Amino acid sequence: MAHMFYKYQGTGNDFVFFDNRQLTFSKNDTNLIARLCDRRFGIGADGLILLENDVTTDFKMVYYNADGNESSMCGNGGRCIVAFAKFLKIIEDKTTFMAVDGLHEAIITNETVALKMQDVEGITRGESYSFLNTGSPHHVTCVNDVKSVNVKEEGAKIRYGAPYNEAGTNVNFVTRIKDNHFMVRTYERGVEDETLSCGTGVTAVALAMYDQNNTNASTVLLETQGGNLEVSFTKTDGKYTNIWLKGPAQQVFKGEIQC
């Protein structure tokens, strides 16, 4: 069966989108989803996202990792689906939508999308890292020179090692540039490699750096290999609220594929 697909990217984090409001896509075919995300035998992407109808909001986001498995929240994917919904004329400049971790708000201005993330509390600090969940689990560790880190090798060791083991975690390596400006590289579980950017990852980094007193700013600039993102938040009584992830989201191309 022929399906129209759309390719979007948000700071180099790329996704295949299908408009699945008519429920025509084979959602349980893990092998198909993995093949579509394959960069040699498919379209190629860090993940696949379905836009579906929702009873109480403008639409629902269903996200799959590149390995074909449905996964936790994806921040850049969430920003990209807002751009996709505007392209489909489902929304105009503001929206609410449902994702695996609950309700999200978003605002789109030209090709910039600001996405409201879930509240966060309970940041765990280890000897040389922080761990928190920003819709997806993230391990955050500071390094002297993030550009020199073998992210795939070192990230995999942490992702599969204790205390995460089989459940795993995403892994972020961070170097402070100045004040509220940090450079970030991320190993993503499900992709099992470094991605050019990770939205929930940079959100985790911003909160972790504030929690570790590496910045006293509540608006943090995050530089990734795919581009720059901004995270702003409010901290009250140990809880992070009003968390917004902001950056570009662009349609790259569209096409038709038999699947």
Question: Active-site residues: which are they?
Answer: 74, 198
Residue whose token pair is 């948000």: 10
Radius of gyration of the chain (CA): 17
Neighbours of 179 (CB within 10 A): 12
Residue 136's identity, in one-letter code, is S
Of 111, 98, 117, 92, the closest CA to residue 51 belongs to: 98
